[in-house]
């Protein structure tokens, strides 16, 4: 990278941080900080969703998928299109109706209305811990990008990846703690436009020219890289089962539902997000990963695309694209950090302080302090991750296995009970963790299928939920009856 690129990147950081501090001065309370005062435009929300979902770790992960498997890697983001549109049709109308009546702040708020406090508390713990890990995965994505481009050397003789992780953690934490959801959404819009235009209009054409054109790619890469079916059925099923349900339970998405003015605005935002995920970003990401394999065939699959951007693009343009990638990663990290903070603040810590200690803390200040601690913990976790995509998928698996079935039940099954939800959360999440960590293993016939642990976790969760809910029904209180009518 040239000195011009470093200047451009420095200006980007200064502008991003200034936006965060601008909203720090204008945020008036917890509702401003976590749900943008419920007055955000669908275009901004839609681009923020896709920036959060794709712009961070999946951007690096997509390049790695393209490097390893070619165009078939684009199916990874087909799950985003399906998940977004299903959520728009099935979830948003129900949630926005309840939100108008109760002014929800978090995803567990909905479960508290439908079930009870025990379910909401359990969901908050699962979601908070899950997003803590997801934040760490995004920080690692940023560290990989930075260490492969503009932070290859440092004056402290630290390993480039660790020094880069430190830098991205500090910048992301400061910006997120200061800005809140409004800053996240507005900067996401700009960041995503810069990234998408930079990749499609500049990076792909320049890269193709530099490597000698499409014919050179075809001659260099395996023929399977140009097929859309060069992946196993088990891989496709794993991606679908692991990722689509997250659109029904993601705290980041519930915050954005609440931030929209109406159900129609929220639907528009979700449709926008789905289209930008697939086919636009899906094929742009994997194609650049394929180009990177031509130039750096021996590189780490997830490091090859950042290296490509560093070495192929002209001075000035490199700084813009790297800044866009870095900002997209930050947009995912800060959204996930706020989701985790929202769970720990609104669902766990604040009720504890109010009930047990009879204290009524300043909501905005408490939110900022908790966000700071979440960011630091995520940075520590990031140092233990080795592959961005695996880290993201594992985090998704943990959350989906425990939360998807109880949430679906709350939305669509009137016989759902709190006891059934608790059993489903505990059973599904625990089984998935045990399988992921190899504490227990599947029988050989099941193991040979190659299916993700999440599938078995969801299966056990559904079984427990369907058995225990009718056996141990809730006592129908007025609050529950009202929630049923809203559904």
The three-state secondary structure class of 40 is strand
Counting every residue written for the chain, the total comes to 487
Residues of the chain with pLDDT below 50 are: 389, 477-485, 487
Residues 474, 480 contacting (CB under 8 angstroms): yes
For residues 242 and 142, what is the distance between their CA atoms, to the nearest angstrom? Answer: 23
Pick the CATH number of 3-387 from 3.20.20.80, 1.20.1260.10, 1.20.1730.10, 3.30.950.10: 1.20.1730.10
Residue 478 has a pLDDT of 43
Q: What are the extents of the domains in the chain?
A: 3-387
Range 102-105 contact pairs with CB under 8 angstroms and sequence separation of 24 or more: 104/254, 104/258, 105/30, 105/31, 105/34, 105/35, 105/258, 105/342, 105/346
Residue 52 has a pLDDT of 80
Q: Residue 216 is inside which H or E element, if any? A: helix 214-220
Using alpha carbons only, how large is the chain's radius of gyration in Å? Answer: 22
For residues 319 and 338, what is the distance between their CA atoms, to the nearest angstrom? Answer: 28
What pTM did the predictor assign? 0.84
Distances (CA, A) of 286 to 70, 348, 389, 400: 6, 40, 14, 25
Residues 250-278 pLDDT 10s: 998 999 999 999 999 999 999 999 999 99
Residues 83-112 pLDDT 10s: 999 999 999 999 999 998 998 988 999 999
């Amino acid at each position: 990278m040239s000195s011009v690129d470093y200047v451009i990147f420095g200006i980007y950081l200064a502008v991003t941080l200034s936006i965060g501090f601008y909203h720090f001065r204008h945020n008036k309370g917890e509702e401003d900080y976590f749900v943008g005062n419920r007055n955000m435009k669908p275009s901004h929300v839609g681009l923020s969703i896709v920036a959060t979902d794709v712009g961070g770790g999946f951007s690096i992960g997509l390049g790695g998928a393209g490097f390893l498997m070619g165009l078939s890697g684009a199916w990874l983001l087909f799950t985003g299109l399906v998940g977004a549109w299903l959520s728009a049709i099935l979830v948003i109308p129900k949630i926005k109706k309840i939100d108008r009546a109760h002014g929800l702040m978090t995803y567990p708020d909905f479960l508290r209305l439908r079930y009870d406090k025990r379910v909401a508390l359990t969901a908050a713990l699962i979601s908070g811990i899950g997003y803590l890990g997801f934040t760490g995965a995004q920080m690692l994505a940023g560290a990989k990008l930075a260490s492969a481009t503009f932070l290859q050397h440092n004056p402290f003789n630290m390993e480039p990846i660790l020094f880069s992780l430190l830098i991205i953690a500090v910048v992301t934490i400061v910006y997120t703690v200061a800005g809140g959801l409004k800053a996240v959404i507005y900067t996401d819009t700009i960041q995503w436009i810069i990234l998408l235009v930079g990749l499609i209009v500049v990076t792909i054409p320049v890269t193709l020219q530099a490597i000698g054109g499409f014919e050179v790619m075809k001659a260099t890469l395996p023929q399977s890289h140009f097929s859309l079916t060069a992946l196993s059925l088990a891989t496709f099923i794993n991606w679908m089962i692991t990722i689509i349900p997250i659109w029904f339970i993601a705290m980041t998405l519930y915050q954005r539902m609440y931030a929209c003015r109406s159900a129609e605005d929220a639907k528009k935002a979700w449709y926008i997000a789905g289209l930008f995920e697939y086919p636009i970003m899906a094929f742009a990401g994997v194609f650049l990963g394929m180009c990177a394999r031509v130039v750096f065939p021996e590189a780490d699959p997830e490091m090859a695309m950042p290296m490509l951007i560093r070495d192929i693009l002209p001075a000035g343009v490199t700084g813009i694209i790297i800044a866009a990638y870095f900002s997209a990663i930050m947009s995912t990290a800060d959204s996930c950090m706020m989701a985790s903070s929202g769970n720990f603040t609104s669902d766990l810590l604040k009720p504890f302080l109010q009930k047990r200690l009879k204290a009524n803390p300043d909501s905005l200040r408490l939110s900022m302090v908790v966000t700071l601690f979440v960011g630091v913990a995520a940075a520590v976790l990031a140092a233990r991750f080795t592959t961005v995509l695996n880290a993201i998928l594992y985090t998704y698996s943990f959350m989906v296995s425990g939360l998807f079935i109880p949430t679906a039940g709350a939305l669509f099954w009137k016989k759902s009970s709190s006891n059934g939800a608790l059993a489903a959360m505990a059973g599904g999440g625990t089984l998935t963790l045990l399988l992921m960590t190899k504490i227990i293993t599947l029988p050989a016939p099941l193991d040979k299928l190659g299916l993700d642990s999440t599938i078995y976790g969801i299966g056990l969760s559904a079984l427990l939920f369907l058995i225990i809910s009718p056996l141990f029904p809730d006592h129908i209180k007025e609050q529950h009856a009202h929630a049923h009518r809203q559904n």
